[in-house]
Structures are given as structure tokens and as C-alpha cells.
Amino acid sequence: MHAASHPEHGKETEDIQSEETKGGIAAFRGQRIPGDVVFKATADLPDWQRSAIRGFHAYAVEHDLSNRELAKLIKFGDAAIGTVFRGKYGAKVDGIAKAMKDFIDLEGKRKESRKLPFIVTKLATKMWDVCDLAREFQRMGFLFADSQIGKSAALEEYQVRNNHGSTIYTEMPAGGGKVDYMIHLAEILKIGTGNRLREMRHRIIESFDDRMLLIVDEAHRAIPGQPGVSKSALGTIEFIREIFNRKKCGVVFCATNVFRHAMEDGAVALVLKQTKRRRLCAMQLPNSPSRDDLNTFAAAYDLEPSSGIAREIETKMIDSEALGMWLLILRMAQKLAVAEEQNLSWGLVVDAHNSLMKMEKPS
């Protein structure tokens, strides 16, 4: 999908062209009720109800299901599904919301059983505290770090644990363009991207309320002065600030220190001044995991803290390859232990590392 004309060029009312965007609903034909309608309809409901209804609608869009198909999943009439999604079910919403919640909870448990559990570290907990406070006090939080230390995984997990239909995790597109980010956000909110840009912009903003949190990961991609980033990319940050100003929701930016330097003393500091003034806090994250967090990862695999050769490999991998590669080696070692019907040991971790290094050597 692409815009016929970018809003930065002053033509924000042009259509976004796509074969799948007839009628203003993009890429989901089974479910015809767009996400912003559901968000508005559930805005004033208790958290568990709005989470259930929004989650059930998101499931419908992701699996391209009609209301009739949804009705079969929870044994309600298809007319009732549409009525709830549009906020017209009245005081009788409890029963159908409970059925939706039970279905979403079960699907969540099935999904969790198919993936590795998230390992909660002190770093993740600190990041989650910023997210909690940004939502509670309706302010902007900033998380800064240059290295790969598990920031994105922690924020994605926060969304899973604290959704209530209200935590929206986004990743800034490469180049930081406002149209690209708007399309990305519209897709997450289950809003059709076949609308004119002005309409899509309005519907995105109206999807938020003061109980919600918007997380913007890789936010430094919208800072000019980097390869592939135009000066107009700052408009993306201004659009996010507009959502914040108008809907009083919390916002958390996660970025490298490129963003921090730009906000404090860079060439665009004056433009970002209004964003900075709305901050709750700006947390500088470490460039590498702490020893406590590395020990937490080890304990998750039933290992004692590393020592000797294992500690040397752990330190080297964290310094040169970042956290993701080290966790991959731990998973490889666990697989090796299962194959050899052994308990996982640091010796097997060393073996897994050595095997990986051999694969990289030319034959």
C-alpha cells in the first residue's frame, strides 16, 4: 500500500490505493465492523468487559471471521455479536462479554503453551513501572538505550500482560514517515486503511481515550539527520503528541540515545521541546544486562550462575552479539540436553556455543 500523496506535501486528503481497500475496510472482509467503532463503543465499560470485546473483535479481524462464524464459537446469535461490537447491547452485555472473555482466555493459554515463557528480569520490571506510571498519570515516558538488551521483548510482553483492550504497542517504521506510521497504527487498531488520510487520521485519534497507553518502539527512526530519515519525519512525533494532547492517554517512547540527544541539544531540540515538557521521566537503560538479570536467565534454565569458561563465553557473547544470541545458545543447549536425555548443564551450554562457532567457520 502507498499514499498517492503524502500529507507532508500538503495533500492529506488523497486516497491510499490498494486492491483490498474497497469501502474503507482494508484486508479484512469477514469482519465488517472496524476497530475504531468497537473502541468507541467499549470506551466506558469496565476493564474486563472492554478487554473481552476488543480482544474478540481483534481475533475476528486476524482470522477473517464474520459475525456468524464468531457466534458459533461462543454459542450466541450473530446479531448479538454485531450489537455488542457497536455498543448497543445495553445492560445485558455481561453474559456475552463473559463468553467472549472465556474464549479469548482459552486461546491465550493455548498460544502461551506453544511458545517459550517470558523471563521477568529487573530491567523488564523497571520498564513496566514507567509504562504503568505513564498510563496512570497520563504523561509521556522515555526509555533510552543503544544496545540490544531485550527492550522490545519486554514492551511486547507488557502489552500482553496489561492489555485490557488499552495498551497499543507500535514500532516506528524505517524512515519514520508519518503516513507509514499512520497505516501501521490503523492496522493495529483494526481500522480500514482504504480511507482518505484525513479520515484515517481522525479515526485513529478517536480510537484512544484516557485509560489507554501508546507504546512507540524504535522511536529514533523518526529523528532527522540519520540515513534514510527526512526532515518531515518529525511530523510523526508531532502526530503522536497530538494523540496525547487530545485524548489524554499515556505514551511511552523507547529509542536509542539518538532520540535523547536530539531532544536535549540537537538541531531539532526546539521542535521536540513540547514533547520533552510532557515527560513523566526519562530512564537511561544500561548498555548490557546486569549480572542479576543474567543470573535470572540462567535460573530460568535451572542453571546456577555461570563461572569459569561458561562465564567467559557468556561475557563475550553479551559484549559482541547482544542478549538475543546468548538466549539462543541457552535454548540450543536445552535442546541438546533433551536429545541426550541429560539435565542441562553449563558444559552443554559450552558445547552448544562451540557447535555454533564451528558452523560459522569456512569448510
The pLDDT tens digits of the residues spanning 279-307 come to 888 899 998 899 999 999 999 999 999 99
The more confident residue out of 147 and 310 is 310
Grid coordinates representing 100 are 467472549
Mean pLDDT of 234-240: 94
Parallel/antiparallel/unpaired status of strands 167-171 and 213-217: parallel
Please report the pLDDT score of residue 15 as a whole number.
41
Mean pLDDT of 146-159: 90
The more confident residue out of 137 and 190 is 137
Distance CA 127, CA 285 (A): 9
Please report the pLDDT score of residue 13 as a whole number.
35
In this predicted structure, the answer to whether residue 360 has a pLDDT above a threshold of 90 is: no
The pLDDT tens digits of the residues spanning 316-354 come to 999 888 888 899 999 999 999 999 999 999 999 999 999
Grid coordinates representing 198 are 484525513
The more confident residue out of 110 and 319 is 319
Instruction: Output DSSP code: residue 357.
Output: H
Distance CA 363, CA 359 (A): 9
- Contacts with 346 (C-beta within 8 Å, 6 or more apart), sequence order: 303, 304, 306, 307, 308, 310
Please report the pLDDT score of residue 17 as a whole number.
38
In this predicted structure, the answer to whether residue 215 has a pLDDT above a threshold of 90 is: yes
In this predicted structure, the answer to whether residue 4 has a pLDDT above a threshold of 50 is: no
Distance CA 315, CA 58 (A): 42
Helix, coil or strand: residue 247: helix
Percent of the chain with pLDDT over 70: 89
Mean pLDDT of 241-260: 94
From 119-128, 198-207, 244-253, 265-274, the region with the lowest mean pLDDT:
265-274
The more confident residue out of 192 and 42 is 42
The pLDDT tens digits of the residues spanning 69-92 come to 999 999 998 889 999 999 988 768
Please report the pLDDT score of residue 6 as a whole number.
40
Domain boundaries, the chain: 31-113, 122-284, 291-360
In this predicted structure, the answer to whether residue 359 has a pLDDT above a threshold of 90 is: no
Rounded to 10 degrees, what is the CA torsion of 24, 29, 30, 33?
0
Q: Which residues pair with 214 in a beta bridge?
A: 168, 251
Please report the pLDDT score of residue 21 as a whole number.
39
pTM to 2 decimals? 0.80
Rounded to 10 degrees, what is the CA torsion of 33, 35, 36, 39?
110
Distance CA 197, CA 14 (A): 6
Fold of domain 122-284: Rossmann fold (3.40.50)
Please report the pLDDT score of residue 116 as a whole number.
67
Please report the pLDDT score of residue 128 as a whole number.
97
Contacts 24+ apart (CB under 8 A), 285-288: 285/123, 285/126, 285/127, 285/143, 285/144, 285/145, 285/149, 285/151, 286/123, 286/145, 286/149, 287/145, 287/146, 287/147, 287/149, 288/147, 288/149, 288/318, 288/319
pLDDT, averaged across the chain: 86
Please report the pLDDT score of residue 270 as a whole number.
80
Q: Place 5 in a pLDDT band, splitting at 50, 70 and 90.
A: very low
Please report the pLDDT score of residue 358 as a whole number.
87
Percent of the chain with pLDDT over 90: 57
The more confident residue out of 272 and 158 is 158
